[in-house]
Structure 1
């Protein structure tokens, strides 16, 4: 009997071995953890095993892999820095895998490489314990990043560089040139030059402004061409004014690309003059009065041109009239500008730049009052991540002195941190480092601050709010937004604590397919006709579970990277919902993404001066100013007028800042509004020659 059982066992084993040998060429499909749990779900998988959500994120069979990024290994925190400074680098190790993704955002490789160079230069400056000197400036900290610069006594032999911009340009900076076209070389050129990266033979041209004037040929027409240039891409797509094509409806900061109505008449008048005065033909480029009323630059005629920096692009005003606008292009942003160059047939009489970024002397600032307060050893109620760039110091100081003084912020229940990438300017990075050590509320990003990389900051905020300073809610906002933290928290009290997106939500928007647009999205980037619901970028709040999902999804490279950060958040939240989680889209219209209105929770596009005003008075200033500008059709010298108006209103307010009588307060507001209107009317008449009344 035992022999029979033994024989049976041997036969069974032989059969198994034979079957195994016969099936060796058929490789079994490797079963992932996701496949296992999908086929063997637990009873409470939807409620307890939130990690299974990540499997629902990507439908494709192959996820992005990791690649080598030049310079990334140098972006590590050294041991010989202060504790406060080291805390500004807490995110670096978390973000290295994100930067190494094979499907990384555009400019990631360049942004990391340039950041490693900037970091090495900064470490050298820290080690030497001295600032980097610019030109022949003295040791005064106040002059390292001056608020204004003028043309030097000596200009280069080529006659090229007329201004050095030490710390870049920011919104509302302006460059003014006074000159006379001399008729040589067919015109003249104005160029804004950027920082020269290591290994690049030439500086990038952030803006090339080419003015072409007619020569001896009477049919030749004056025109302006705007463009950009880099070693990598060479010349970009030029924009000509006038275009001789159908007028573009595209606007930059609400202004047309070309003042077509004024400029188009020039060519017609030239031809008419040529036919009517054929016996006594003269060169129209030699100061003829009829053309001086049309084309802004005339040979032999003095002009004053002001190029000012907007939110979306550059704007040129000539003799008080808006002429052209030019939208910023990727990697060619105003903060990278450090030189102004003028060439060609122009006798330049004067040049200066104002409204430049200025850093305070931190030794004279009460950092204990303005710096980050100690964080209690418990989960935060909310983390507020603020997007900023290196040279926007004035904006950060405005926030530190205003809404960051809310009691919930000073008590540590709400933490506010600025998320800032490196600058290509070494001096800006040095000043930023001093700010890091002074206030302790900055998180440095391991890349240069290109616009196309801001989505990485969104992920960084989620990492910070879940792994470093855990918070119940995570809020994202910008450094030009005024946030009423009390109203945000009040609005959250009645909202769900999970699956939450709270802000001004767009439920039905489509990708911008215009290739010339800053927000252009190709079919490869997003093939669908519409986006999922998303909250406008100036400010929104998400719950902790969504933030954790985003962090986990990017750790596993299971979430898509998308260059529009606010839309990207909407895309990720849609994936979150596909994992069986309910999403609460709470639309709050008081998150104003443009301007300031009554009963606001968040107001975007606030300058440091307006941020410093009391909220009610700031509301009136902004509303009245815009209404007056609209009615008077007044365009030009925006920065100078805003400064004067806000200064005037603030002076009036200071005289009665302790007033509590409602009637007197209302009279104060009325007086300020009346003075504001009178100022607008005066400036409108001065620059347009058109007299207006208050009633108009």
Structure 2
């Protein structure tokens, strides 16, 4: 036993001496300073993603493999188009178990819309139909029922000229904005985006909306002083697009108290609808809600309810105790005829992403290194806005030369007519990236991630900018500014350093404590225009790929959260605030001007072209 133990000990010592000898004579690997820095940087991010308890969800989100419509959506041949370059990169994001609200609905409806689009293109190709034929009318006229094939956009309006009759005690009439199949006679699968009901018997107005899954919401009344326990009065302080929800012009008068002795004050209102008196009512779509003007005066406003947005409207219905003298829906989404509006499509088409260069008689492609990618959030029906941008600030030399690339990020529409127009536009101008979901507002953060993916994995850019299709961007000024910045750790725009979540459930930006439990947000840049550096964009993409990225439905705040997480990973962040990024208007000397419609967009471009050196750019009115 002792001999065996001694032999074992000698063997172990021999092995140790062998490894020691091998180590002394093996070649040394010298790590240079840049290699060490890169190794430390990778180790920092690895440690961050794998040890930060606030980002490692428990349990970690998994992928859903039975999501209705996803396989069908990706299996159609159109998915290999130049306008769907993002699709392979974003598929896992759509399949996450912690996905944003309406993701499943947006995918399911997109699969139907995508299939209908493919069939429409096949029919058009087979019958040699003119593909440029307009399928979305600018206006629709009728009487009590008007079909709206391409939905509504901002500033679309319904005008009704009517004569209220009021032949019974509960007389009144209503105007309804409806979404859903017209074959659904019982209305079980139809949503009401807005029901505007006029009660002639009691001189007040009711406004409400109904979704298929949740039914009718909270009813809003005007005047709000109506005493009815079954009704919920609207808040007098609440405004929509800056307009009051109920324009109550109360008047005081003297009246009998019923007993004949003395008099008392009577509260009355100038109610806009009167029996046997003709009225002209215009119900128009704003940015935040619907607004009603009667005989030229603003009367009511109604905030869009969640998932009940104007682009979903496909029918307007007028019913009740009135004679409809005329009705029209106008300001509908239409595409412009570039042949008559502009000289050549080549002047508007996006410059190519790649250069083709000759090498030893063969052609090969090389990606151009760009300074900036600008991702423009747009919706399918906003044809005029996109065309106005192509004809204005996309004509800057930096864009036409390829130094700056501009792409519209647009979801699908539920209307086959709109999708066919959108497809034609995308194929013509090559500047649209379609998203694989129907364009609900709650899903816009997916576009933000899509822009980061596009600017890092598809198109090489040093900086990535997000803006909206109603924003004018001074490309010349931005290029000049970015050339003086360090390329890393940048968030540039109109920064909000001290903001808190909206806890009012009626707010468009309502955030529940479950979605964000803290009392304030980290610094974030307002959505109409902000710029991030490439390293932050890559961090966002990597977080998405690892499913450690926190999803948040307010896209500009979401970017602020992700930048904060980037900072927490040990990276340096520079928050650069610029008051010339106007998030709610245009101001002289602007870099970004928001809420600029097509007319104002072209006006601003005309003024830019006439500027002398050192002149301050002025706004249009």
CA deviations over 1:244-284 (Å, ceiling 9, x no partner): 26953111000011112x2x55xx76x94784999xxxxxx
Give the TM-score of the pair, scaled to structure 2: 0.84
Matched-pair contact (CA < 8 Å) for 1:77–1:86: no
Matched-pair contact (CA < 8 Å) for 1:512–1:520: yes
Matched-pair contact (CA < 8 Å) for 2:44–2:570: no
CA deviations over 1:87-120 (Å, ceiling 9, x no partner): 1011111111101111111100000000000000
Matched-pair contact (CA < 8 Å) for 2:224–2:236: no
Q: How does 1:394-405 map to 2 (within 5 A)?
A: 394-405=384-395
Structure 2 CA distance for aligned equivalents of residues 560 and 310 of structure 1: 31
Q: How does 1:114-125 map to 2 (within 5 A)?
A: 114-125=109-120
Partner of 2:20: none
Structure 2 CA distance for aligned equivalents of residues 92 and 355 of structure 1: 32
Give the TM-score of the pair, scaled to structure 1: 0.75
2:139 counterpart of 1:145: no
Structure 2 CA distance for aligned equivalents of residues 334 and 556 of structure 1: 36
CA deviations over 1:64-94 (Å, ceiling 9, x no partner): 111131001122264478xxx7110111111
Structure 1 CA distance for aligned equivalents of residues 194 and 470 of structure 2: 24
The 1:43–1:316 alpha-carbon spacing in structure 2 relative to 1, beyond 3 Å, is: closer
Among candidates 153, 163, 167, match of residue 170 of structure 1: 153
The structure carrying a bigger strand percent of its residues is 2
Structure 1 CA distance for aligned equivalents of residues 273 and 40 of structure 2: 69
Partner of 2:104: 109
Q: How does 1:102-501 map to 2 (within 5 A)?
A: 102-129=97-124, 144-151=135-142, 161-184=144-167, 185-196=170-181, 201-214=188-201, 221-244=202-225, 247-260=235-248, 262=249, 264-265=250-251, 272=255, 275=258, 294-361=270-337, 366-375=344-353, 376=355, 377-501=367-491
2:546 counterpart of 1:556: yes
CA RMSD of aligned residues (A): 3.2
Q: Which moved more, 1:368-377 or 1:384-393?
A: 368-377
Q: Which runs of 5+ in 2 are unaligned?
A: 13-35, 226-232, 262-266, 356-366
Matched-pair contact (CA < 8 Å) for 2:57–2:548: no
Partner of 1:66: 63
The 1:276–1:413 alpha-carbon spacing in structure 2 relative to 1, beyond 3 Å, is: farther
The 1:273–1:212 alpha-carbon spacing in structure 2 relative to 1, beyond 3 Å, is: farther
Q: Secondary structure of the residue that 2:153 maps to in structure 1? A: coil
Structure 1 CA distance for aligned equivalents of residues 422 and 152 of structure 2: 15
CA-CA distance at 1:4 after TM superposition = 2.4
CA-CA distance at 1:490 after TM superposition = 1.3
- Equivalent residue pairs, number: 559
Q: Secondary structure of the residue that 1:427 maps to in structure 2? A: helix
Structure 2 CA distance for aligned equivalents of residues 239 and 296 of structure 1: 17
The 1:296–1:313 alpha-carbon spacing in structure 2 relative to 1, beyond 3 Å, is: same
Structure 1 CA distance for aligned equivalents of residues 163 and 488 of structure 2: 64
CA-CA distance at 1:493 after TM superposition = 2.0
CA-CA distance at 1:148 after TM superposition = 1.6
Structure 1 CA distance for aligned equivalents of residues 405 and 305 of structure 2: 34
Matched-pair contact (CA < 8 Å) for 1:142–1:360: no
Structure 2 CA distance for aligned equivalents of residues 131 and 506 of structure 1: 54
Q: Which moved more, 1:456-465 or 1:193-202?
A: 193-202
The structure carrying a bigger helix percent of its residues is 1
The 1:406–1:659 alpha-carbon spacing in structure 2 relative to 1, beyond 3 Å, is: closer
CA deviations over 1:420-450 (Å, ceiling 9, x no partner): 0000111000000000110000000000000
